[in-house]
Structure 1
Amino acid sequence: MKRIFVFLFFFILTASVHANNPSYSGLFAALDSIDEEHKEHGFAGRASFSRLHELIRKKLSTFVLSQMEAALVKRITNDWRRYTYLHDFVARKFTKLNDCEQKFLVASLLYEAGIDTIYGYSASSCHILASSNIKLYQLAYIYFQQNRYYVLAPNGISEQIPDIALYNFGDEGRMLNFEFTVAAASVGNMIDEKEAYAELNSQDRFVFSPQKMAFFKTHPQMDYIHYIHAPMSEKLVRNLENSLLPALSTMDDWHVAQALMDYIQYNIAESKDVIDGSHEKVQFMEETLFYKKGDCEDRVILYAKLLNLFLKRPMLLVKYERHLALAIALNDYDQWQIRLDGKKYTIADPSIKNGRVGDLMSSLVGETYVVRKINFP
């Protein structure tokens, strides 16, 4: 129980701000005062998200609270875009907080906006699900339970899923990215969706012969576009479709692009591969899947081929001086975009840690770039 309260203290502390400090530098309250308020509000053994949220509100200054409420932007009615907007807002304003601390503030803001929010966290990771659909929460709860997460939820959700308000599943946390799957899941097909997610995260499905890997390793280096156009074997296509298609089939274009980006970020480790002091070894898609690592161009090649297989939208290769990214024709999305021949292409960079479709690396803002159309046959 002591360990549970340590975690709760940790997240409540993140929302504490001095009254007149627009620089957001005073983000931590005294631990003993938090402890006293815990005792006063009777959180021992069972704590609902709504009560913790009220405690956070008391700790927020009027200035910061007004800034956050303004960020809710009532005209944004899509839950996913609202979540993305709030996440970006908190990330910009609370730069000293880590990812889980920032997500806890986002969850509190979503609750403030009248959106039921379930928040799960462990020693190593954390997740938010915001929705009005109880079946999505039930599926999220299964994930939390199976992966030993602590869970916080509003009273309304707690009443429909008994004892969900606070569960101790232990400290061991495995990094999950279930958000995109659960948020877009088909309500009538929850079990299949859960199984599809397990397939989506399988890292051992792609096995290639030593002869083929030796061929790739000794292949002369080519222009990036040739790697993107390199043919895939029928077996690889089948494996990819069996792994990813069940989950992706319920999603719109933006969520498909985001899901594939997440898949790469969580399964392909970042790795530099300079071969002679200046030139890099560009990998074929199969090499990246086999070695489970790659740098920006390797991830972009894999991402482009997956997007073409599952989304089939026009794409651009975006080359900066020291970086490579993609841009996808998603006309209804309005973040970082490139306009070419009357089309709007949204930046999609699988190398940004915890990045989302539409994000641009801060170091690339204002940098010059060259674009090249990817003309798939």
Structure 2
Amino acid sequence: MKIRTLMLIPALLLSSGLQAESEYEQWRRQKLTDFQAYLDENDKAFIQFLQQKWQPVDVAPARQRDPQPKPVELPKAPKPAPVQPTPVDVSPIVKVPEPAPAVQQRPQPVVVISPPASHLPQVSFDFYGHSIRIPYAKELRKSFSGALNSKSIAAYWQQLAGSPHKDTVSALQAQAKALQLNDWGTAKLFDQFARQLHRDNNSRQLTSWFLLVKAGYDARVAYNQRIHLLLTSEQEMFGVTFFTLSNKRYYAVNLNEQPLKPGKVFTYEGQHEEGRRALDFSNPTRFTASGNTSERQLKFQLDGKDYRINVQYPERYISYFSSFPQLSLPNYFRAGLPAVTADSLLQQLRPVVEGQSELDAANRLLRFVQTAFAYKTDDDQFGQENYLFPLETLHYPYSDCEDRAALFAWLVESLLGLDAVILDYPGHVATAIAFHGNVKGDAVMHQGARFVVADPTFVNASAGMTMPQFAASQPKVIPF
């Protein structure tokens, strides 16, 4: 009996080992199946691109919008006489358009709840006053390690692509939609999420790159001594380095605070089939930042009467707008104002222009913008060129020509219903208005229409007057 029992022991051990091996093989096959479920054909093809030797490309210096210095001291036109009724050939304003109803309540923080079926852990963070919760797979939290080369970066992409990442991408996209973010705000949201997972630059950049591509964006990474994230854009960017590949500019957007300097970097050929969309910076004020509302009082005088305009705006918009890269002029003129700010400003300026002729109303708006805001160049206020969105012009203590022009053009279109264009001089920006009547003075022609010069930086100047130092210059006429 003892001998038979001893003989059975190896057999039992062998049987147990075979069973254990079988369970391991089942687990391994299941993991491989799960991996293949997330690693689709696009990922497989893309990983092959990444594994190949990366090519060197030249990073171009950041482009400057206008190298000409702006006026430091502003000329003033002679103080105008009290406004007199204009000739009958200037169309009167019958009624100023009513703005949309003001939103009185303070925006509440928005929280995205992960899908009920998701078993993934969640990370929480603040996004301009909103409390955000996003599910993530543990593989997304693994840091990048090893030498910077095509093989290691391809392996990191494969690690991320093989994880259950779709819940994360869907949750980020749902949150961006709920907050009405444009593409730039969405990229910032993705970056803030990546920051919660990783402290080191390379892991953050690679994770942001992966998630943005999976969300459909034409994102790309390049490396020298570190990883850099680059994105294509519908709008030209200034003050941002870039390289050109396949006739597209890839801008080194400063999401992770370390600018890419001109020189050589290495990047891959090819493109992931899912990542085709360029950033679009349109509709920046659609996003509603949560938090406190600030108020600023603007004072100006008209025909011996003092006016005080109290403007309300959400504080967190300022930090949101300050994150934007430098864009071309039309983007600031098209931006407009958040609803709560637009309502408070238009409601108070409506009585100032109500019932006036088009010319008189435009001149009244000119006086407001010319005299209610203190002037300083961007170099003096910020130490660099920094175009302001209209909301920022209402916030900062100083503004210069293009900032005032963008705000004034929005007021003219919102209150008077008149078309305006940008006048871009070397070192200066003004506007011009298409009146319905025959308004005398300096003017430009654009697409068969006559636009009368209206300069919100030329203090006391009325429509039809050009700042003297630019009278001999021919400006670029830019619609927006």
Question: Please, what TM-score do these two structures have when normalized by structure 1?
Answer: 0.46
Structure with the bigger RCO (C-alpha within 8 Å, sep 6+) is 2
| More strand by percentage | 2
| More helix by percentage | 1
Larger Cα-atom Rg: 2
